Amino acid sequence: MLRTLYDLRQSYNVNTEKKVFIVAGEASGDLHASNLIKEMLLLNPNYIFFGWGGDRMIKEGVAIQKHLSELAFMGFVEVLLNLRTILNNFKICKEQILNFNPDFIVLVDYPGFNLRIAKWAKKNGIKVIYYISPQIWAWKQSRVYQIKENVSKMYCILPFEKDFYQRFDVSVEYLGHPLLDEVNAFNDGENHSIQSEKPILAVLPGSRKQEIERKLPIMLEAASKFDSYEIIVACAPSLESDFYKKFERENVKFIKNQTYELLNSATMAIVTSGTATLETALFRVPQVVCYKSSSISYWIARSLVKIKYISLVNLILNKEAVRELIQFDCTADSIIAELELIKIGGGNRQNVLNSYNELIHLLGDNGASKRIAEKIWSEFG
């Protein structure tokens, strides 16, 4: 028998203040954390949130102590170059957690930082919830033992991750993917779109400065060959608008805080690997996925990573449903060739759309953020 919200409220003392410290270091983490916080506050308005994150978390009432725009370092070389800053961040975060004295902490993805915070928190008697699993099934699988030791509960958002963790007897739940809620909420609201006399070619170059600087010029060079399309670039909300001025060129439009409006209007897309590949699929936009890092970072990653695919779409489906152009294959000519195949009338367009149907079925039902919030409330208060 399903319990009503009233029944749940009567089961717990919602008048008791609960302090939660939450850490999200990237744009996708900020998005998912904000939705989880919203649902947690609906269950218990007396939660008090401090933490690290971005504008979406601020909107939900989190007292942000360090903004994610200061936190995103991409690749092995970039981490080494910013090691002093990163180590100082660990010190600052630990001090803030101790001063805040939370009932528990919620760590959202961002594994290089958050797994170390989890280990420290466990030693200090602080309960740790981990939301959005690090991709340890791809590399550094031995980290599963660290997670088992230090994390009270893992909430993963990819269907195959639950089976992985259960093999190691980790306390884990898969309750759906929160992006389904985000996309459905957009679709259920006013159906915003971007008006254009031409079909739209969307360019999603990522959220970190390093990856944008490395890939966006290549993406725009490829896109420029499709002069019958309007080319629109989605800017990262966490980056200042001036950062994109060096990429400006004729017949290219830049937008900010309108990524879903863009995907809702686009005919095809060039996308940086990451959460954006899944968002693009949920809007049923055929895409080419790109990844390019520094040469040293790439060779290190290639020797360590043990997966066949880099995009979430292909990982979930366990097949190359969308084309991935990685490192040396990530050239303007290669992107152009793949866009020809997925444009309207292209030979691979329908195959991609059919694969998206399979993907949505595998992800399951809506309501992931709500279900996770209820689980946290029932288990941690």
Fold of 5-176+365-380: Rossmann fold (3.40.50)
> Which of 3.40.50.620, 3.40.50.300, 3.90.25.10, 3.40.50.2000 would CATH assign to domain 185-363?
3.40.50.2000
Other CB atoms within a 10 A radius of the CB of residue 171 amount to 14
What's the Cα-to-Cα distance from 284 to each of 261, 353, 354, rounded to whole Å?
13, 6, 9
Sequence ranges of the domains in the chain: 5-176+365-380, 185-363
Contact criterion met (CB below 8 Å) for 314 and 322? yes
Residue labelled with tokens 């367009």: 349
Band of residue 112 on the pLDDT scale cut at 50, 70, 90: confident
Which tens digits make up the pLDDT trace of 365-379? 899 999 999 999 999
Confidence category of residue 211, pLDDT binned at 50, 70, 90: confident
CA 32 – CA 112 distance, rounded (Å): 18
Give the pLDDT of residue 256. Answer: 93
Contact 268, 287 (CB under 8 A): yes
Let me know: does 260 contact 186? Beta carbons within 8 Å: yes
Please check the confidence at residue 45 and state whether its pLDDT lies above 60.
yes
User: Kind of pairing, strands 287-291 and 323-326?
Assistant: parallel
pTM above 0.85, yes or no: no
Average pLDDT, the chain: 88
pLDDT (tens digit per residue) in 213-223: 999 999 999 99
Centroid of chain to Cα 303? 24
State pLDDT tens for residues 265-310.
999 999 998 889 999 999 999 999 998 876 666 565 665 566 788 8
Identify the CA nearest to 272 among candidates 288, 254, 259: 288
SS3 per-residue string spanning 106-122:
EEECCHHHHHHHHHHHH
Where is average pLDDT lowest: 143-157, 214-228, 296-310, 315-329? 296-310
Q: State whether residue 21 is helix, strand or coil.
A: strand
Residue with tokens 């990451």: 274
Of 60, 70, 5, nearest in space to 31 by CA: 60
Among candidate residues 314, 195, 302, 311, the one with its CA nearest the CA of residue 255:
195
- Beta partners for 239? none
Output the pLDDT for position 310. 85
H helices of 128-173, where? 143-150, 159-166
Domains 5-176+365-380 and 185-363 share a fold: yes
Beta strands (DSSP E) in 236-294 are: 252-256, 266-272, 287-291
pLDDT at 185: 87
Radius of gyration of the chain (CA): 21
Residue bearing the bigger pLDDT, 202 or 10: 202
Return the percentage of the chain with pLDDT > 90, whole number.
69
Q: What is the band of 12 on the pLDDT scale with cuts at 50, 70, 90? A: very low
Query: Measured over all CA atoms, what is the biggest interatomic distance in the chain, rounded to whole angstroms?
Result: 62
Q: Tell me the β-bridge partners of 108.
A: 24, 131
Q: How far is CA 192 from CA 55, 260, 265, in A?
A: 21, 9, 9
Distance CA 366, CA 381 (A): 24
